[in-house]
Amino acid sequence: MRFRTVKGTHDILPEEALRWRHVEEEIRRILELSGFAEIRTPILEQLELIARGVGQTTDIVTKEMFALERGEDRLVLRPEMTAPVMRAYLQHGLYTQGAVMKLYYIGPMFRAERPQRGRLRQFHQYGAEILGSSDPLADAEAIALQMGILEHFGLRQLRLRINSLGDATCRPRYREALQAYFRPLAERLSPSSRERLEKNPLRILDSKDPQDQELLAGAPRITDFLTEACREHFEQVKTYLEELGIPYEEDPFLVRGLDYYMHTAFEITSPLLGAQDALGGGGRYDGLAEELGGRPTPGVGFAGGLERLLIALETAGYRFPEPARPDLYIAALGPEARRWAFVHANRWRRRFSLQVEYDLAGRSLRSQLREADRIRARFVLILGEEELSRGRAPLKALDSGEQTLLSLDALPDTLIARIRRAESERSPTPSS
Ligand code: HAM
């Protein structure tokens, strides 16, 4: 077959999809418990929104966009959700619904990065945004929420790094100081950092190049350039984290790859991952709404990668729930019995919500029984033409091997009663 998944994308096959569903459902539950409501925005956005929102000089915008043209429109497959969520908030005037809006999302994002383990071109994020609050409590809430999600799955040894990127007053001053420090050293910088020196010098702080890192050791730190108000904001965020007992490390060189951040930026990494070790990150983006031409709206949020979370959970030996077991497998032989199976499987699914399966391929009784075993059906009904004409057939419980001859008319009632009994034996309700 000549067709394969596109580079950097992957299929989520049924067994894996169950794990995805479990993780997504848990994340939804935790976020909804904290009062976040789901938002779903289109995968296609205007290129201009992303370029302005994420930043013209970021890697995401200059190198990694899946862009397409359609007539006059210049579109992209969204690389992230913060700019689209802010667009939706402004477009629909969601600010009229209350002072603070808490929104979450789960879905696919697209970045044309060089694929490797934990780094894809179509990947999935869960994330949350708190819009309308400039209070440092909201920053702490976002960080605590993301830590809480990861800890809920039993992940330990998480490393939370935080930094303050200042605001429109401190950032330009820091930028200049950084340029003044690096300009005389430009020759020794890696080519990509040299390129960033004039356009986006803060990104040099993010360089993984060993030579750059050496030079970084003596570089000025943003924390020394914060205004009193910015410093106070950062101090409060840290105090709130301490109140919840969330350990963090201050990293004055943490900048993150998106330009909209102001004040708090953070990232959470795990030793369970390889080179791509960020499970998630986020921060505050108070200037974004105005950058998009909207009314001033402070915001803070985070996003985490679902692929990376799943890799970490698998590495940690997380126990995912087992797939649901079919209640009944009807092993039917002969045209009449097969027709009966078809009719009754459909009827009982609809009427009693029983998960009933039967063979769709006309296989032998032996392979039908093997199939019932493989899918771990609770019960198998063995039905030939003779059983059908007598109106009685053997029902076998696959766990115990116990077999009883049952009237076909009474089957759903008997089955439901036995399933209920088995369930209550498995999880006995405490008697009062
Ligand atoms: P980000 O750090 O670019 O932030 O992405 C968040 C997370 O998405 C990363 O930590 C990582 O787990 C996952 N991720 C990113 N790129 C890839 C990829 N190519 N393959 C697999 N996983 C990936 C944002 O996107 C911001 N919108 C977060 C935010 C929300 N800030 C404020 N609010």
Ligand 1 centroid, distance to 302 Cα (angstroms): 8
Pocket flag, ligand 1, residue 283 (CB < 6 Å): yes
Q: What pLDDT is stored for residue 9 in this prediction?
A: 98
Site to probe by mutation for ligand 1, drawn from 77, 109, 297 as the one with most ligand atoms within 8 Å of Cβ, is 109
Distance 319 CA to ligand 1 centre (A): 25
Distance 413 CA to ligand 1 centre (A): 51
Per-residue pLDDT reduced to its tens digit, 342-371 = 999 999 999 999 999 999 999 999 999 999
Beta strands in 32-137 (DSSP E): 37-38, 44-46, 67-70, 73-77, 101-110, 122-131
Ligand 1 centroid from CA 128, angstroms: 12
Question: Nearest 5°: CA angle at 172, between 134 and 83?
Answer: 45
Q: Assess whether pLDDT exceeds 60 at residue 246.
A: yes
Pocket flag, ligand 1, residue 304 (CB < 6 Å): yes
Tell me the pTM: 0.94
**pLDDT 10s digits, 159-212:** 999 999 999 999 999 999 999 999 999 999 999 899 889 988 998 998 889 999
Q: For position 431, what pLDDT does the model report? A: 45
Distance CA 341, CA 338 (A): 5
Does residue 6 have a pLDDT over 50?
A: yes
Domains and CATH numbers, the chain: 14-169+227-315 (3.30.930.10), 328-426 (3.40.50.800)
Percentage of the chain modeled with pLDDT above 90:
90
Is the minimum distance from the CB of 358 to ligand 1 under 6 angstroms? Answer: no
312 touches 156 (CB < 8 A): no
260 lines ligand 1 (CB under 6 A): no
Q: Which atom of ligand 1 is nearest to the CA of 60?
A: 3
Mean pLDDT of the chain: 95
Mean pLDDT computed over 132-137: 98
Atom 12, ligand 1: which residue's CA is nearest? 305
Find out whether 200 and 171 touch, Cβ atoms under 8 Å. Answer: no
Pocket lining: 53 vs ligand 1, CB cutoff 6 Å: no
Beta strands in 234-371 (DSSP E): 249-250, 262-269, 278-284, 299-305, 328-332, 356-358
How much distance in Å is there from the Cα of 181 to the middle of ligand 1? 30
Distance 344 CA to ligand 1 centre (A): 48
pLDDT tens-digit map of 285-336? 999 999 999 999 999 999 999 999 999 999 999 999 999 999 999 999 999 9
Average pLDDT over residues 130-151: 98
pLDDT band at 423; cut points 50, 70, 90: confident
